[in-house]
Structure 1
Amino acid sequence: MGEVSIIDILKKLNKDRSEEDKFRIASEQPDGFFIREVVPTGSVYLDFRIHSTLGKGGFVKGSLNLLIGGEGSGKSSLALKAAANEQKQTGKYVVYWDAEGTINESYIERMGVDLDRFIYYKGRNLEEMLDVLQEFSIAKDVGMIIIDSIPVFVSTVIENKSAEDNNMSVEARKFNSRMPIIEGNCSRRNIALVALTYYKLNPGAMGDPRVLSRGEWQRYMSNLTIELTKKDLIKDDDKNTIGHVIDVRLKKSKLQAYDSKESFQINFYYQYGFNNFDEYASVFIENGIIKQGGAWFTFANEDGVEIKLNGKSKVIDFLKENENTFKFLQNFLNSNVDENVE
């Protein structure tokens, strides 16, 4: 066999490949090939903490995003808000496999999801889920796949009934062997893969007794891992519960540097999700656009007039009632952030 060039090898490898699957020299890749696209989570402040450049924070497309949290922490709601954003951005379908069976049509619509582009299925059979999602992961008009949630799926394989750990290891092995295939398909087709999960306790473990149910493959495979914890309830003036505070930790992120021990809070409202004015106020304050001194907040409006308000709630109300100032501060934030982007 004579010598061959890299060009000859590329031609041979690409002969029967689709356009998006072809091997190419890096300089010949299409524009934007190396840019990581994201789907906004629905929380402006969470997106900002994921990536300090607006528009670049959110669930990463083409890879696994992991949401870890206990019951009622907000995992499903956050996934649904992101699903609505994916539909708005691309017009593509979202596939939601619900093994928990805890959400209904009314709630899905309240989170902004378009049911005409939403494929929803309830089921707990592990093999069926893996087979079906592998099919969906090669569809050109699917933009997001959500698995809710990993620990609930049950394998049809019958193991020693007296050894629960063996059954769990069988399911972990099945996930471990099939999820890389699904994630690889999502990577080639730029599909955001979002998996919901939670910890189980392993009292005999050294260090942190919390381990991820169904295997540590989740932690290693994910591009972004977010841990959610339900905190205080949010009540209206009549003492009715209208939401709750979510404590958030970024446990893993390949988008930018992060501190896995640092936590921050976002407010979730049951009727609609997240309050944009509340979230932007937090971003403005953290960026120094709105300056805080004790309980007082000061900033300049679009006319250069200094505004001074007592209490963050007053800031939120002001932004809500003064659209021009709100847009001015948004534009100011964007211009400041852009200057720091290489």
Structure 2
Amino acid sequence: MPQKVRIALDAMGGDVGAAVVIPGAAASLARHPDSQFLLFGDSAKIAAELDRQPALKAASRVIHTDVSVSNDAKPSQALRRGRKTSSMWLAIEAVKKGEADVAVSAGNTGALVAMARFCLRTLAGIDRPALAAIWPTMRGESVVLDLGATIGGDAQHLVALAVMGAAMASVLFNKPRPSVGLLNIGVEEMKGHEEIREAAEMLRAMNLSQLDYIGFVEGDGIGKGAADVVVTEGFSGNIALKAAEGTARQITQYLRTEIARTWRAQIGYLLARNAFRALRDRLDPSRSNGSVLLGLNGIVVKSHGGTDAEGFASAVNVGYEMARYDLLTKINQTLNRDGGALASVPTDQEPVS
């Protein structure tokens, strides 16, 4: 029997906390029965939810803490006040101690990044972590990063993102040399900020065996599936993500409004309801919920704070897949190929202030 995948959950994270985390974990367990859970948070609130989920209760251990990170806490505040005692910190620390294979939280993104970086430290050659997500496209799926772990970045940072994203894509998509593009305002070489143009020159010159650099990708190229991996710094990446999610909800609402307008539209919906359901599923952000915090000595997954139980289950599923297929080891192997792909990129191993 294969070894269990041990998943540490910040049961107090997100807009709702245990009321979403526990049923979400139960849904993930039904899909992956070889999972075990460590639930960090207020034991009374967790127990009330666990009593409704007997299968999850049997596969879980509860570690009590009444300290949680608020959604509006600054990263520095979260580190000072929540370090060592908060549900978020304890879930991450379980990965560091080897008690869990992955940590999942729907809590404050800035606090999660700061705590994970402080607790787990970054991989050699990586100056800071990045949030990477699987993005549905017309051609299948792509990896997009950074989606908001940090803001800004020089050319070397973008190159590091390209290498990490390619490593993740090679594992997920079973491609030895995934295509990589840099998000830009145009495909012409003279367009974009200086750091983007410099990163493009570096990637062309390095000619890495683990990725196929294809050049610049415009915003609409993400959804088209122009590259297996699309790289950008966290500010523009987060804007792209929120714009895509908002557009998906907008289209869904438009369809609902138009279908309700006339009886002919309602009959048309009945005739094509399977197609509409498929479209709804593809546009539902909860089905692609869960971003991996790449670049750390451990696996951490960030869920949307306002997601429902189904969405949180998706984030837990992402964490399960990353741990089950040993993504961290494979990323390390990819980073070390060719004598160290990121040997020229400076490493910041100092604690977060």
TM-score, normalising length: structure 1: 0.29
Q: Which has the higher contact order (CA 8 A, sep 6+)?
A: 2
Whichever of the two has the greater Rg, that structure is 1
TM-score, normalising length: structure 2: 0.28
